[in-house]
C-alpha cells in the first residue's frame, strides 16, 4: 500500500517548522535600548522614553546602548524617533556637548551665545569650560571715535556668565 503524498508533505512541513523553531530559540539574544517615544534634541532621556528589547546578535547594531543606565539622564544630540535603537554615539552627558562642542552644561533657562576669542585673549589657559566670567565690550577708540567727541564707554554684556567652550573666530577649538 502506498501512503498518500499529503501525509509525507505534512510531516515534512512539521519537521521543517520544528527545526526552524529550535534554531531560532537556540540563538543567544541581546538586549538593546529602543526609544518608545520621539526624543527631541537636547532633551534629557527618562525611563519612560526607552525600553530594553531582545534581538538576535546579527540584528543588534554594534553601537546600540545595551542598558538603561547607559541612556537615562543623558541628552540626545540628534532627534531619536520612536522605535529607533538608541546609539551611544549620539548621547551626551552635557546638553550641547556633541552638537555644539560645549564643555560645560547649559542650565535650564540659560541661552548660549558666541564671543570670538583670539588665542592671546584666553588668559593663558585660565578660560576653560565651566569657568565664570564677566563680558565687557570695550570700543576701540581709534576706530569709533569721531574727532572732537568723547570716546564711547565700555558696556557690560554679562556678569558671572559660564564659559561653555573656547573657540577661535574661525570656529577652531583652542588647544592648550
Q: What is the pTM of this model?
A: 0.57
Which of the pair, 2 or 84, is modelled with greater confidence?
A: 84
> Can you spell out the DSSP letters for 84-137?
PBPBGGGEESSTTTTTT--SS---TT---------GGGSGGGT--TT-EEEEEE
Predicted confidence at residue 138, as pLDDT, reads: 81
What is the pLDDT confidence band of residue 143, given thresholds at 50, 70 and 90? low
Highest mean pLDDT among 14-18, 91-95, 104-108, 140-144: 14-18
pLDDT, position 99: 66
Rounded CA-CA distance 23/8 in Å is 22
Q: Walk me through the domains of the chain, giving residue ranges and CATH numbers.
A: 27-99 (3.90.1210.10), 103-176 (no CATH)
What pairing do the DSSP bridges indicate for beta strands 155-162 and 132-137? antiparallel
**What is the predicted pLDDT for the residue at 168?**
73
Amino acid at each position: 500500500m502506498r501512503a498518500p503524498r499529503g501525509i509525507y508533505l505534512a510531516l515534512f512541513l512539521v519537521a521543517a517548522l520544528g527545526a526552524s523553531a529550535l534554531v531560532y530559540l537556540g540563538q543567544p539574544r541581546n538586549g538593546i535600548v529602543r526609544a518608545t517615544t520621539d526624543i527631541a534634541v537636547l532633551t534629557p532621556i527618562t525611563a519612560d522614553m526607552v525600553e530594553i528589547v531582545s534581538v538576535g546578535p546579527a540584528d543588534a547594531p554594534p553601537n546600540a546602548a545595551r542598558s538603561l543606565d547607559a541612556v537615562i539622564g543623558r541628552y540626545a544630540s540628534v532627534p531619536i524617533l520612536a522605535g529607533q535603537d538608541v546609539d551611544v554615539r549620539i548621547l551626551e552627558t552635557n546638553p550641547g556637548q556633541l552638537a555644539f562642542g560645549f564643555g560645560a552644561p547649559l542650565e535650564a533657562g540659560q541661552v548660549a551665545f558666541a564671543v570670538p576669542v583670539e588665542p592671546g585673549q584666553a588668559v593663558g589657559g585660565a578660560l576653560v569650560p565651566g569657568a565664570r566670567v564677566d563680558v565687557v565690550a570695550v570700543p576701540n577708540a581709534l576706530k569709533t571715535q569721531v574727532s572732537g567727541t568723547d570716546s564711547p564707554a565700555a558696556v557690560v554684556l554679562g556678569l558671572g556668565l559660564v564659559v561653555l567652550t573656547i573657540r577661535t573666530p574661525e570656529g577652531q577649538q583652542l588647544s592648550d
